[in-house]
């Protein structure tokens, strides 16, 4: 299994531009999580989905952030317009249906976002 | 979810056991203790979890006190590759599908020669 796949690995953009981060969860997993990591704030949960439905988006910073999961094998996190304070590493994680191993989250390698 | 308290950093000599403590004095009866680690520049990695019994797998052992107010993660023979930030997380395991996992600041473990 290829694991959770995130793209791009690195993104450099200018303030005001739209940024789209992509995530392909592990096949068969039905929960997907988006996290953001900075030195100041550590790892923060932004939003998570169960069976493609957003369950908790209380961590999404503001209306500039949106996340979608159109099907079980793909999710996007969009920032529009981007700002320098959005610079961070964004991680996607997935977990399998409940049944012993549900508690494990499997993380991707992250997207390093720099907004200039 | 209950809060956890961990030391900011620890050192361990290679080949020795690394014992990482975690305090979770407000843990509820239906909350599990999870451990993840994050090696530099990588995504977090699951290590182990438990409810009240001690647990062991190929990576580590988890010792939970009888009152469940604290636990210790044990890496029996630490190697340089175990240098990472270790997160202790308390989380309700909900029925059906996943519940959210909230990370604290963790313990930075440095394994030295």
Interface of B with A in 7-46 (CB under 8 A): 32, 34, 36, 38, 42-46
Nearest to A50 among B42, B87, B97 (CB): B97
pLDDT, tens digit (0-9, with 9 covering 90-100), for B34-86: 999 999 989 999 999 999 989 999 999 999 999 999 999 999 999 999 999 99
| Phi then psi dihedrals of residue A85, to 5 deg | -70, -5
d(CA B113, CA B101): 34
Nearest to B34 among A93, A103, A109 (CB): A103
Helix (H) or strand (E) holding A112: strand A111-115
Q: What angle do CA B2, B8, B9 make, to 5 degrees?
A: 135
State residue B99's pLDDT score.
Answer: 72
Cβ–Cβ contact B52 with A under 8 A: no
pLDDT, tens digit (0-9, with 9 covering 90-100), for B79-109: 999 999 999 999 876 665 667 788 999 999 9
Task: With beta carbons less than 8 A apart as the criterion, state whether B36 and B66 touch.
Answer: no
d(CA A1, CA B22): 33
Nearest CA distance, A97 vs chain B (angstrom)? 6
């Amino acid at each position: 299994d290829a694991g959770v796949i995130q793209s791009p690995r690195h993104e450099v953009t200018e303030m005001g531009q739209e940024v789209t981060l992509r995530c392909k969860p592990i096949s068969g997993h039905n929960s997907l999580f988006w996290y953001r990591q900075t030195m100041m704030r550590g790892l923060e949960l932004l939003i998570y989905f169960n069976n493609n439905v957003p369950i908790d988006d209380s961590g999404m910073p503001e209306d500039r952030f949106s996340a979608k999961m159109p099907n079980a094998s793909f999710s996007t996190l969009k920032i529009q317009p981007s700002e320098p304070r959005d610079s961070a590493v964004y991680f996607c994680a997935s977990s399998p249906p409940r049944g012993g191993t549900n508690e494990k989250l499997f993380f991707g390698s992250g997207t390093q976002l720099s907004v200039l | 979810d209950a809060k956890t308290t961990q030391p900011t950093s620890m050192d361990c000599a290679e080949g020795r056991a690394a014992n990482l403590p975690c305090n979770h004095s407000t843990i509820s009866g239906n909350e599990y203790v999870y451990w993840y680690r994050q090696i530099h520049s990588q995504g977090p990695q699951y290590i182990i979890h438990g409810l009240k019994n001690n647990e062991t797998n190929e990576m580590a052992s988890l010792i939970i006190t009888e009152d469940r107010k604290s636990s210790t993660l044990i890496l029996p023979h630490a190697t340089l590759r175990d240098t990472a930030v270790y997160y202790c997380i308390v989380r309700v395991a909900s029925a059906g599908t996943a519940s959210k996992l909230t990370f604290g600041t963790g313990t930075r473990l440095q394994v030295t020669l």
